[in-house]
C-alpha cells in the first residue's frame, strides 16, 4: 500500500526552478553545496573561475558538485584542473585521491593523499578536514583514518564547528554513538546557526525510532535556515515513519522547490524515493523518464536496479544493474550494489554472473561469505540439484555449517537418488538439531530407499524417533506419524508379529480413519490373517 507521498509527484511534476543566485563568494558556494543546491553552487563557482582561472579551490568545490552526483569523470576533470593550475592546491589532491579510493586504487590514493598532507603540514586545517570527509564518503574509506585527519584539523583550528560535526559522523560510523553526539554538541556550541548540527542529531533520533525528537530537531534547524534542503528531505522521512502523512506532501514540495528540477535534482529524488521513501513505483516512473533523456545515468541505474528488485521485477533489475556495473569503473560502488546485483542474478538464474560478482564481493569485503549459501539455495530452488549439491558442499567446506546447509544438501542428494550420502547429510542435521523431526524423517526415507524390502530394517530406528517426536503434536505431525506407523506395521508383518503390526496400523488408523488401505489391513489382522508382506518404499 502506498503512503500519501505518491500523488504529489504526478501533480507537482518538477515544475519549480532554483531561485537565482546572487551570492558570489567561495563560502556562499560551499553553503549551497551543503544545501544540495549543486546547480546554484556551480553558477557561483564558474563565475569565480571566470574571474580567476587559477582559482584552484573553486575548481575543487566545482568537482565536489559533480562528485556528490556520482559524476566521477567531471569531478576528475575539475580536481585535476585545480592541481594543474596550482600545484600547491592540497584540496585538489584530496579530490583526486578520493576518486582513487572509490575505485580501490590504493597506490594512487596514498600518493594523492600524501601530496595533500605534505602541502597541509601543520597549517591547513581544511585539507585535513577534507581528507577526513573523503574517508567517510567513500565506500572504501577507513573510519580510523577519518578520525585521525579530523582530529588533526581540530588541533590546527579548534574554533571551527564543521570539524567537530564531521568528527561526530566518524564516531557514529565507528559505532561510538555517545562520542558522536558529544561532537555534535560541541559543534552546535561553536555555531548555533548551523542547521547541519540539528540535522545530524535528528538522524540519530530517527535511527532510534524517537520520531517526535527527530521532528523537533529538524524544525529547530529549519528555524535557523528555512532553505536548508537536507533537513526538509529528512523531515519528509520522519513524517512517513511517524505516520503524519498529511505533512509529507507540503514538506516535499518545499524540498523540491529548493533543489530544482534539473536532471541531477531528479536523479537525487529518484535515489531518495528508492532508498528512503521506498516509493518504488514512483521511483521507477521517474527513473525511466530520466534514462530516456540520459541513458548512462549512473545513480539512476543503481536506484532502478533496487526499485525493480523490490517490486519483484527481477529481469529488469538484473538488466539495470548490469548496465550500472558496466559504467562503474572509477566510481563509487556500495555493498548494497553488490547485494542487489547478486540477488537479481540469482532470481533470474544468471548463475555465472552471480558467481563472478560473489567472488568480487569476497575480495572487496572478506567477511561477506553469506552469498555462497544464497548461490547454492538458488540452484536448489531451480531444481538444479547437482549444482546445488556442489555449492552446498563447497559452502560447508569453507564456512561453519548450519542446519540449513545440511538440510538442503541432503535434499539435493536425495532427489538425485544418492540415498547413502543424503542419509549422512541428514545425520549431520540431526546431530545439530536432535529434536528436529524432519531430519529424522528424511533419514528414515533415505534408508527406506536403501532397504526397500525391509531386509535390514534400516529405517526402523529413524521412524521410531519420528514417532517419539511427532506425538508432541499429533495433528501437526499427522503425515509423518502416518508414514512411520505404516512402516513399523509392515516391519512387524515381515516378522509375522500380528499383534505388534495391529498396534501400529491401529495407531495409523486413529490418525486417518478414512484410509482404505488401513481399513483393509486391520480387517485382515482382526480376522487372524496377516496382510501381504510389502516393502517400506515410499
CB-based contact 280:311 (threshold 8 Å): yes
Residues of the chain with pLDDT > 70, as a percent, come to 95
Statement: residue 308 has pLDDT above 90: yes
- Helices 125-137/161-174 angle, 10° precision: 30
Q: How many CB atoms lie within 10 A of CB 48?
A: 20
pLDDT at 66: 94
Structurally, what CATH architecture does the domain formed by 435-538 represent?
Alpha Horseshoe (1.25)
Task: Please give the DSSP secondary-structure letter assigned to residue 277.
Answer: S
Q: CA-CA distances (angstroms) from residue 487 to 161, 311, 345, 436, 502?
A: 77, 46, 43, 20, 12
- What's the alpha-carbon Rg for the chain, to the nearest Å? 32
What is the Cα–Cα distance from 521 to 306, expressed in whole angstroms? Answer: 59
Beta strands in 118-243 (DSSP E): none
Max avg pLDDT among 23-32, 64-73, 191-200, 422-431: 422-431
Residue 9: pLDDT band (50, 70, 90) is very low
pLDDT at 527: 84
Please name which of 191, 205, 260 lies closest in space to residue 234, comparing C-alpha atoms: 205
- DSSP track, 269-321: HHHHHHHTS--HHHHHHHHHHHHHH-TT-HHHHHHHHHHHHHTT-HHHHHHHH
**CB-facing half-sphere around the CA of 268: CA atoms within 13 A:** 25
Q: What's the whole-number mean pLDDT along residues 434-463?
A: 97
Of 225-234, 265-274, 437-446, 505-514, the range with the lowest mean pLDDT is: 265-274
Task: Please give the DSSP secondary-structure letter assigned to residue 246.
Answer: G
End-to-end Cα spacing for the chain: 45
The predicted-structure confidence for 46-86, as pLDDT tens digits, reads as follows 999 999 878 999 999 999 999 998 889 999 999 999 999 99
pLDDT at 534: 64
CB-based contact 345:352 (threshold 8 Å): no
- Helices 335-347/314-326 angle, 10° precision: 130
Residue 473, SS3 per DSSP: coil
The whole-chain average pLDDT of the chain stands at: 91
Residue 11: pLDDT band (50, 70, 90) is very low
Statement: residue 415 has pLDDT above 50: yes
Which residue carries 574509506 as its cell?
141
Statement: residue 4 has pLDDT above 80: no
pLDDT at 538: 47
Helix (H) or strand (E) run with residue 80 in it = helix 72-85
Statement: residue 226 has pLDDT above 70: yes
More confident site: 37 or 44? 44
The predicted-structure confidence for 279-288, as pLDDT tens digits, reads as follows 899 899 999 9
pTM above 0.85? no
pLDDT at 533: 66
Amino acid at each position: 500500500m502506498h503512503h500519501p507521498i505518491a500523488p504529489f509527484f504526478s501533480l507537482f511534476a518538477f515544475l519549480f526552478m532554483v531561485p537565482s543566485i546572487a551570492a558570489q563568494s567561495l563560502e556562499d558556494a560551499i553553503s549551497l553545496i551543503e544545501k544540495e543546491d549543486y546547480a546554484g553552487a556551480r553558477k557561483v563557482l564558474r563565475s569565480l573561475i571566470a574571474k580567476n582561472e587559477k582559482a584552484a579551490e573553486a575548481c575543487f568545490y566545482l568537482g565536489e558538485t559533480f562528485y556528490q552526483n556520482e559524476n566521477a569523470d567531471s569531478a576528475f576533470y575539475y580536481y585535476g584542473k585545480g592541481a594543474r593550475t596550482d600545484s600547491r592546491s592540497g584540496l585538489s589532491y584530496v579530490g583526486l585521491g578520493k576518486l582513487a579510493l572509490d575505485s580501490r586504487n590504493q597506490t594512487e590514493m596514498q600518493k594523492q593523499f600524501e601530496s595533500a598532507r605534505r602541502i597541509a603540514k601543520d597549517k591547513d586545517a581544511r585539507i585535513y578536514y577534507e581528507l577526513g570527509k573523503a574517508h567517510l564518503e567513500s565506500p572504501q574509506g577507513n573510519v580510523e583514518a577519518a578520525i585521525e585527519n579530523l582530529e588533526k584539523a581540530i588541533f590546527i583550528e579548534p574554533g571551527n564547528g564543521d570539524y567537530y560535526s564531521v568528527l561526530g559522523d566518524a564516531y557514529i560510523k565507528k559505532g561510538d554513538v555517545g562520542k558522536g553526539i558529544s561532537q555534535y554538541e560541541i559543534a552546535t556550541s561553536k555555531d548555533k546557526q548551523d542547521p547541519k548540527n540539528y540535522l545530524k542529531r535528528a538522524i540519530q533520533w530517527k535511527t532510534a525510532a524517537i520520531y517526535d525528537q527527530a521532528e523537533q530537531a529538524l524544525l529547530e534547524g529549519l528555524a535557523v535556515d528555512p532553505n536548508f534542503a537536507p533537513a526538509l528531505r529528512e523531515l519528509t522521512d520522519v513524517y512517513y515513519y511517524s505516520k503524519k502523512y498529511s505533512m509529507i506532501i507540503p514538506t516535499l514540495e518545499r524540498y523540491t522547490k529548493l533543489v530544482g528540477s534539473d536532471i541531477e535534482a531528479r536523479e537525487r529524488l529518484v535515489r531518495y524515493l528508492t532508498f528512503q521513501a521506498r516509493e518504488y513505483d514512483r521511483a521507477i516512473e521517474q527513473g525511466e523518464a530520466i534514462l530516456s533523456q540520459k541513458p548512462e545515468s549512473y545513480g539512476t541505474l543503481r536506484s532502478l536496479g533496487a526499485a525493480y528488485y523490490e517490486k519483484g521485477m527481477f529481469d529488469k533489475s538484473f538488466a539495470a544493474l548490469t548496465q550500472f556495473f558496466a559504467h562503474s569503473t572509477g566510481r563509487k560502488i556500495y555493498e548494497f550494489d553488490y547485494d542487489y546485483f547478486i540477488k537479481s542474478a540469482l532470481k533470474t538464474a544468471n548463475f555465472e554472473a552471480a558467481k563472478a560478482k560473489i567472488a568480487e564481493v569476497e575480495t572487496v569485503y572478506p567477511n561477506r561469505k553469506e552469498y555462497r549459501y544464497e548461490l547454492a539455495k538458488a540452484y536448489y530452488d531451480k531444481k538444479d540439484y547437482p549444482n546445488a549439491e556442489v555449492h552446498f558442499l563447497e559452502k560447508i567446506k569453507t564456512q561453519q555449517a548450519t542446519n540449513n546447509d545440511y538440510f538442503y544438501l541432503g535434499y539435493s542428494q536425495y532427489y538425485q537418488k544418492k540415498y547413502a550420502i543424503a542419509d549422512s547429510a541428514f545425520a549431520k542435521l540431526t546431530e545439530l538439531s536432535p529434536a528436529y523431526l524432519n531430519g529424522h524423517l528424511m533419514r528414515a526415507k533415505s534408508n527406506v530407499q536403501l532397504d526397500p524390502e525391509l531386509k535390514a530394517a534400516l529405517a526402523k530406528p529413524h521412524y521410531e524417533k519420528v514417532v517419539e517426536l511427532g506425538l508432541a503434536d499429533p495433528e501437526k505431525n499427522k503425515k509423518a506419524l502416518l508414514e512411520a506407523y505404516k512402516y513399523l506395521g509392515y516391519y512387524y508383518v515381515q516378522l509375522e508379529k500380528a499383534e505388534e503390526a495391529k498396534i501400529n496400523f491401529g495407531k495409523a488408523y486413529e490418525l486417518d480413519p478414512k484410509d482404505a488401505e488401513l481399513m483393509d489391513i486391520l480387517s485382515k489382522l482382526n480376522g487372524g490373517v496377516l496382510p501381504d508382506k510389502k516393502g517400506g518404499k515410499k
